[in-house]
A and B are shown apart, each in its own frame.
Chain A
Amino acid sequence: MNVITRAGLQAWLQDLADSRRLLAPQVVEDVVLFRPVDDIRTSAALDPNAPRPAMSIKEAFFPPTERLMLIEPQADPDTPGRRRVRLTETLPEAEQVIFGVRPCDARGMAVLDAAFLEAAPPDPYYARRREGTTLIGLACKEMGPSCFCRSVGGGPDDSRHVDVFLSETEEGYVVQVITERGRALLDGVPLSESDAERPSSALSDPIAVPDPLAWPAYFEDPFWGQMSERCLSCRICAYVCPTCRCFDVRDEPVESQAGSDRFERLRCWDSCSSAGYRRIAGGHNPRSSEGQRLRNRFFCKFYYYPLQYGPSACTGCGRCIDACPVNVDITEVLGHLVTG
């Protein structure tokens, strides 16, 4: 196995931070978030005890808000006095490296890829960022109390879906090159050969997860209504989720320019848990009750998505469990479907 020392990793990451955009876990007030890093020593990237970042790496590919195009009126050269509308596509520039990617978040990228890239038409904004990004994964030494990645096809030492995968050992980090892009990123970085085996992560027992085909029978279950009574209909679960990918699109004036006639087409995060999400013209709302909305979130993860794209859309990261203010618990939902 190839090993990089702690000092070697720090030097490598500092090189990356100096030469391009590097995102890594940072403590912002008391929240751990992926943020651009200038000085690797001030980040939480190399702190082995740093908790799971509050947000997944999703926002580096599918940001909370992005401009899709600029909309500007222009004089029509052919007809004096008339104006034309000029639409300018605004594709992102994104050469970036993300360090400290957890296996659950990396698998989240595979879930997003299926929806944004592999299903036609591919999303050019997402594609640009995805093509320009290199992922350095980091094994979790143990699973947290709310983690259940093993139950949904992942694991704390699952090295798929990243470009380079690191596992911490006593000597430093065992380095696995997963893709050619990862090999290129490591070009010239001093690694040493070692007999060290890749360390294994401490595993928690998996929970039972129902088969996708078991879900339709529970569509009318009163459980959803009961579960949703305490639901606040906020959007925390969707926004912290590595795979929730719903958005709203609206044309709005370009901000901070009073009297401006320039507009932008914005794409912003949205969530099926909010009351207005499913409202349609005329005011009808097919998912007007909290129970219908909560049901949709779980059906989407474990039935609609698998039906359309393949494996379940939940990566077992446990963020929604920990962030929910009223303890709506995705594993409790799965348990209900298993035990009936």
Chain B
Amino acid sequence: MSHTEAIRARARQLLEEKQVSCVIGYEVGPRGRTRPTFIYAPDQIDRLVWNSACTHNLTRYLPGRLKVGKPGEPPPRVAVVVKPCDSRAIHVLLAESQFGREQVHVIGVACEGIMDARSDGGQAELQARCRRCRERMPVLADDVIGEAPSLPAELDPDEDLARLEAMTAAERTEFWLAQFDRCIRCYACRQACPMCNCPICLFERDDSLWVGIGIRLNEKRAFHLGRAYHLAGRCIGCDECERVCPMHIPIGLLNRHLAAEVNRAFGFQAGVAPVLGPLVTVLRDGEVHP
């Protein structure tokens, strides 16, 4: 049975047995592009697919759907199709009490990596993040689709991160400001991110309390660095922020840099287990608020 057939069979059962109200998965649109889809009834099941372009991290849709509940009614429950990287986002969201474990049925897919969408018609290749990744199975799932594929003999080293870490602070500042300069403040990175779920983003307050509305370098620096700090110890590295950026800003690199610092300082990787990140959220071992 193909992954697509297996996902459809599971989705059909979940909907027919009314275990969930909706299955969040992938479909192929009229232009042939794979995209998120929302399935509510068995007769829509055939839209669901699994292919090497299932890049979107669908857990992004969970807090918005699961936090709303009506008094007196059972909390909403949905199913979601996840890759191993996406599954770690659910751990973080659970640890941060965004919804209850019983509210989500996780259909995890064994992952061989996702291909880069090429608009120029060239030969598709594995996304850079997948060439560095050794995860093949979801860290949490109610169903697992597929067997664990074999790992490639060698993973790509993170050369961009090595280059960044070799820079002086001044060089890094220069590098990042040149990148942020292209930003148009479209907020696609934030909107695609499962961890960016604040009801009101501090960078978009009506009163300009922390940062103004300008789409200028100062505001863009505040936005990107501020967002990166908020993701330190929380970002699970799905790289959706970087994929969606219309200006090709290497936002994932910024997040990997902070994740590496968190790992060095705390021996912690986000999403491996459903526990809160050690940075800014937890004080322990005699740590006190300054």
Q: A236 to nearest B CB, angstroms? A: 5
Question: Which residues does chain B contribute within 8 Å of A234, judged by CB atoms?
Answer: 186-188, 190-192, 244
Contact of A325 among B184, B216, B244, B248 (CB under 8 A): B244
Tell me if A104 counts as interface (CB < 8 A to partner B).
no
Interface string of A208-252 (1 = CB under 8 A from B): 000000000000000000100110111110011000000010101
Contact of B31 among A30, A65, A252, A329 (CB under 8 A): A329
Tell me if A42 counts as interface (CB < 8 A to partner B).
no
Contact of A54 among B33, B216, B243, B246 (CB under 8 A): B246
Question: Which residues does chain A contribute within 8 Å of B206, judged by CB atoms?
Answer: 276
Task: Decide: A327 near B35, CB < 8 A? Known: A232-B191, A250-B212.
Answer: yes
Inter-chain CA distance A240–B12, complex, in Å, is 39
Looking at the complex, which of A15-23, A182-190, A266-274, A296-304 is the stretch in contact with chain B? A266-274
Interface string of B181-203 (1 = CB under 8 A from A): 01011111011100000000000
20 contacts between A and B (CB under 8 A): A55-B184, A64-B185, A65-B215, A65-B216, A145-B119, A146-B31, A229-B38, A230-B35, A230-B37, A232-B191, A233-B191, A234-B191, A234-B192, A235-B188, A271-B186, A325-B188, A325-B192, A329-B29, A331-B31, A332-B31
Interface string of B10-52 (1 = CB under 8 A from A): 0000000000000000000111011111100000000000000
Contact present for B31 and A327 (CB under 8 Å): yes
Question: Which residues does chain B contribute within 8 Å of A323, judged by CB atoms?
Answer: 246
Question: Which residues does chain A contribute within 8 Å of B38, judged by CB atoms?
Answer: 226, 229-230
Contact of A31 among B120, B185, B247 (CB under 8 A): B247
Question: Which residues does chain B contribute within 8 Å of A325, judged by CB atoms?
Answer: 56, 188, 192, 240, 243-244
Tell me if A322 counts as interface (CB < 8 A to partner B).
yes
Task: Decide: A255 near B214, CB < 8 A? Known: A31-B182, A239-B186, A326-B35.
Answer: yes
**Which residues 57-96 of A have a CB within 8 angstroms of B?**
64-65
Contact of B30 among A54, A239, A335 (CB under 8 A): A335
Contact present for A250 and B208 (CB under 8 Å): yes
Task: Decide: A29 near B184, CB < 8 A? Known: A64-B215, A250-B212, A329-B30.
Answer: no
Tell me if B158 counts as interface (CB < 8 A to partner A).
no
Q: B30 to nearest A CB, angstroms? A: 6
Question: Which residues does chain A contribute within 8 Å of B263, judged by CB atoms?
Answer: none
Inter-chain CA distance A321–B117, complex, in Å, is 14
Inter-chain CA distance A45–B244, complex, in Å, is 26
* Interface of chain B: mostly helix, strand, loop or mixed: loop
Contact present for B248 and A268 (CB under 8 Å): no
* Shortest Cβ-Cβ A-B pairs, 10 listed: A325-B244, A64-B215, A234-B188, A232-B191, A327-B35, A230-B36, A234-B191, A235-B186, A252-B212, A327-B33
**Which residues 220-244 of B have a CB within 8 angstroms of A?**
240, 243-244
Question: Which residues does chain A contribute within 8 Å of B120, judged by CB atoms?
Answer: 51
Contact present for A322 and B37 (CB under 8 Å): no
Question: Which residues does chain A contribute within 8 Å of B184, judged by CB atoms?
Answer: 55, 64, 239, 269
Size of the chain A interface, CB-CB below 8 angstroms: 43
Task: Decide: A332 near B30, CB < 8 A? Known: A29-B182, A64-B184, A326-B56.
Answer: yes
**Which residues 255-279 of A have a CB within 8 angstroms of B?**
255-256, 266, 268-269, 271, 274, 276
Q: A70 to nearest B CB, angstroms? A: 14
**Which residues 146-203 of A have a CB within 8 angstroms of B?**
146
Inter-chain CA distance A158–B186, complex, in Å, is 30
Inter-chain CA distance A326–B29, complex, in Å, is 10
Tell me if A33 counts as interface (CB < 8 A to partner B).
yes
Inter-chain CA distance A256–B216, complex, in Å, is 12
Other 8 A-B pairs with CB < 8 A, given A266-B213, A274-B187, A325-B192:
A31-B182, A51-B120, A236-B244, A252-B208, A252-B214, A271-B186, A327-B29, A329-B31
Inter-chain CA distance A91–B200, complex, in Å, is 34
Contact of B246 among A51, A65, A240, A326 (CB under 8 A): A240
Chain A residue, CB-CB nearest to B36: A230
Question: Which residues does chain A contribute within 8 Å of B185, judged by CB atoms?
Answer: 64, 235, 269
Question: Which residues does chain B contribute within 8 Å of A51, judged by CB atoms?
Answer: 119-120
Tell me if B174 counts as interface (CB < 8 A to partner A).
no
Q: B129 to nearest A CB, angstroms? A: 16
Tell me if A307 counts as interface (CB < 8 A to partner B).
no
Q: A90 to nearest B CB, angstroms? A: 14
Tell me if A28 counts as interface (CB < 8 A to partner B).
yes
